[in-house]
Structure 1
Amino acid sequence: MLYLGDQFPNFTANTTDGEINFHNYLGADFTPVCTTELSRVLILLPGFSKRNTKVIGLSCDTVTSHVV
């Protein structure tokens, strides 16, 4: 069982941007967002990358359900 403050177990996952290792995002600040905010993040992604900032959006759905 996990509790607030526990470290979430590491995992790798196939994403729309290739495979990720979740613990590469440790220390990240997680905020729930809506789909319109996620689309704006995509537009701003070059600025995040320039600042060496990792962006991740998590979903309970399959990868293929998000491929347009």
Structure 2
Amino acid sequence: MKKFKVHLTREYLVEINAENEDAAIEFTELYISGGMDDSREDTRLKGNFQILQIKPVTNDALVLDEI
């Protein structure tokens, strides 16, 4: 069996309710992980945001090197 280094790029479209654009960006970066919403209810209440939908749009893999 061969061993490879693979670069994986994933992108998502996220719908989020937030107080403003900066908050939407901040909470999206903080709480979207692996295509899942990692925020807790108390965090959403404190930050006044709600992640509504996470839609995968890109899933690209590129072999960088054979090890």
After TM superposition, is the score higher than 0.5?
Answer: no
TM range (shorter): under 0.3
User: Which of structures 1 and 2 has the bigger CA Rg?
Assistant: 2
Higher strand share: 2
- Which structure has more RCO (C-alpha within 8 Å, separation ≥ 6)? 2
The structure with the largest helix share of the pair is 1
TM-score by length of 1: 0.28
